[in-house]
Amino acid sequence: MSDETPELPQIYLITPAEFELSSFPDRLAACLDSTDVACVRLSLATRDEDRIAKAADALRAVTHARDIALVIESHILMVERLGLDGVHLIDHARSVRQVRKDLGADAIVGAYCAASRHDGMTAGELGADYVSFGPVGESPLGDGTRAQPELFEWWSQMIEVPVVAEGALDTDLIRTLAPHTDFFGIGDEIWHQDDPAQALRAFRAAMT
């Protein structure tokens, strides 16, 4: 038997789809100061360019002061203009090749691939830095398809591209998936709580 302790997954923090710019940066900072976080994703639902830019500026100040990467969901053209570290794509593998070409080798390019093993492998082959699967828990959103534990177990054995488990997580799912995923994408699971930092610490504890 090996005496090596398995490496714990890292936390990939996802912002709410809507938040108050006057208060959310402080809530985010409290989470980042309480628990190690590898990356933050700005995931606003709004299409208002000015609102997105102001949010990105505020969160970039929080994350970069702590040497934490900040990526934005979908808005490829805003990455360089706003001084962000990369983009999280939600069209599976369709735009990975072109986005990698446009943003260059140093940018983070991630691809959400729902529960599709094929799309995940394609995204990795085209240059994605990570592939995200989800939701892993039961969700009323979408068509009800879940990314099952077997997908993460297979991926961890066969594919070197880092994998993110996200969507409707709870502590039981985290314990189940911790041996098989590189990152947990945690967002609404903590932002709906009175103390997001405390909720995040509970998720971190479940990974051990």
- Angle between helical axes of 24-34 and 196-206 (0-180°, round to 10): 30
Rg (CA), the chain: 16
pLDDT digits (tens, 9 = 90+) for 112-171: 999 999 999 999 999 999 999 999 999 887 788 999 999 999 999 999 999 999 999 999
pTM: 0.95
CA 137 to chain centre: 15
CB contact at 8 A, 182 and 7: no
Q: pLDDT at residue 27 above 90?
A: yes
The whole-number average pLDDT for the span 96-111 is 97
- The Cβ-side half-sphere exposure at 2, using a 13 Å CA radius, reads 3
pLDDT digits (tens, 9 = 90+) for 172-188: 999 999 999 999 999 99
93 CB-contact burial (10 Å; exposed 0-12 / middle 13-18 / buried 19+)? buried
Domains present along the chain, CATH in parentheses: 10-206 (3.20.20.70)
Rounded CA separation 60/129 (Å) = 20
